Each structure stands twice: as structure tokens, then as C-alpha cells.
Amino acid sequence: MLVLSRKPKESIVINGNITVSVLRVDNDNVRIGIEAPKTVPVMRKEIYQEISQNNLAAAGSNIDKLKKKQLVNS
Amino acid sequence: MLTIEHNLQNTETQAPDALETKPGIPLHFASGLLGFEQNHQFELILDEELQPFQWMKGVDADQSFLVIPPGFAADNYSVEISDDDVELLKLHDSKDAKVVCIATYHPNETVTVNLKGPIIYNQHTGEARQVVPLNASELPLSHPMGN
């Protein structure tokens, strides 16, 4: 991992089109501003992990089994 | 910000019109799905045996997903999507938008629906995106589907 030290109001540029700025540091809380092209999804890592893991589990759904179940129920 | 509501009263899947009932609606995800960023092309297939579910079949990959219009899973489902998402999907009106949510059919034969990260697509262009709505914190990731 690349580690850079930044002070409040300083920034990091990624790939020439994404800017990550440290806006405020307050004890253990850091407020970060991100400017990125709209096509780049930006979100908290916890959210990304829960949705991507859910997608991964969903991709394994066996629809043949579900079809049989639906037919039995209907 | 655009609020998109979905409930069975205004669901289009019951009316035999337009795109929704035709098999194989092509969807293009410019950013892929979360965790599947490399997959961009899907086809939304209506299969009678799966109703009310639909099958979102990967075109440029083997990954396929079971999806469902959220009105079948929850009452009064409403998502607020950001201006960036509205602009990317070129939604001029909430009527341009269709919503489906990814369902998981678990090995124990229960089904849960992800209401937290819905798929929104422009029904006129097929441009699609899995969004994290502004009101995501109120929405469940694994909403149990009743039988």
C-alpha cells in the first residue's frame, strides 16, 4: 500500500482525474472530499463489501431448482 | 435527487405493454455490478416459470442473476438516487426509470432480496447501474421473500 502524509486542505491526485482531499481532522475522525468522474462509483468500503458479497452469493442462485419449486407451489 | 417509487399498483409487469414483457431487454452497465466491475452487458429475460422473478443473464460473462421488481418483495419501496446517477442514466423523469433488485436463492430454498443496492435502468436506452441510494441506510440488504 502506498502511504502518503497529508495535512488538512491538502490533496492527492489519482490518475489525473480523481482528487482526494483531507477537509478536516477531528480527533479520530477525518473528513474526506472526493472529486471523481461520475462514472466512477465512490462509496464507503463497508457498503461496497456488503453489496458485492451479496452479489457474489446471488450469482450462485440455482434457478432450475427455483423453477421446480414455483411449479409445485402454483 | 430523484425519488423512484415502486409498488404493485403501478408496476408495469402486469400490463402487457412495451419493453418489459418482451424477452431479452439488453442492459448496459457502464460500471458493471459491484464486485463484478468487468461485466457490462446483460439481458433481462422474462421467463414464465420464474414469475415474478426475472433472469438477468450475463452476455459478456457467465454471471447471471435472479432479479425481481421490488414491489413484489416489499410494500411502498422508494429509493432516492443521486443527481450523478440521474445524469449518468439520463433520466428526465422517474417514469424513465425501471427498478429491479437482485434476489438470492439460498441452498435452503429461501429467497432474499437486496433492497439496498437496487438496479436502476433507463427503459428507453437500456443504460443501467447498481446504485447505492441516498436512503440506503433505511433499506435492507437481505429482505426475506415471503412464500
Asked if residues B31 and B37 have their Cβ atoms less than 8 Å apart, the reply is yes
Which among A41, A47, A66 is the nearest to B105, CB-wise? A66
Which domains are present in chain B? Answer: 2-144 (2.30.290.10)
Residues of B whose CB is below 8 A from A40: 31
pLDDT on residue B21: 47
Which of the pair, B1 or B63, is modelled with greater confidence?
Answer: B63
pLDDT on residue B120: 97
Give residue A65's pLDDT band: very low, low, confident or very high (50, 70, 90).
confident
Q: Does A42 touch chain B (CB under 8 A)?
A: no
The average pLDDT across B49-58 equals 92
Shortest Cα–Cα distance, A38 to chain B (Å):
6
Q: Does B34 touch chain A (CB under 8 A)?
A: yes
Which among B49, B104, B109 is the nearest to A57, CB-wise? B104
Q: Does A35 touch chain B (CB under 8 A)?
A: no
* Cell numbers found for residue B146: 415471503
Which residue(s) pair with A30 in the sheet?
A: A25
| pTM for the full predicted model | 0.85
Between the alpha carbon of residue A3 and those of residues A6, A12, A22, B133, the distances in Å are 10, 11, 14, 31
Give residue B9's pLDDT band: very low, low, confident or very high (50, 70, 90).
low
pLDDT on residue B15: 47
* Cell numbers found for residue B143: 429482505
Q: What are phi and psi of B97, to 5 degrees?
A: -95, 140
The average pLDDT across A23-33 equals 96
Between the alpha carbon of residue B123 and those of residues B18, B119, B141, the distances in Å are 9, 12, 24
- What whole-number distance in Å separates Cα of residue A60 and Cα of residue B6? 26
Mean pLDDT across chain B: 88
pLDDT on residue A73: 65
The average pLDDT across A32-43 equals 93
pLDDT at A9 over 90: yes
Give ipTM to 2 decimals.
0.83
- What whole-number distance in Å separates Cα of residue B40 and Cα of residue B28? 6
First to last CA, chain B: 34
> What one-character DSSP code corresponds to residue B5?
E
pLDDT on residue B4: 82
Question: How many helices (H) and strands (E) would you count in chain A?
Answer: 2, 3
Which among A48, A56, A62 is the nearest to B105, CB-wise? A62
Q: How many CA atoms lie within 13 A of B70 on its CB side?
A: 27
pLDDT on residue B20: 46
- What whole-number distance in Å separates Cα of residue B122 and Cα of residue B39? 18
pLDDT on residue B22: 54
Mean pLDDT across chain A: 91
Q: DSSP 3-state assignment of A52?
A: helix
Q: Please give the share of chain B, as a percent, with pLDDT higher than 70.
A: 88
Shortest Cα–Cα distance, A4 to chain B (Å):
27
- What whole-number distance in Å separates Cα of residue A14 and Cα of residue B129? 23
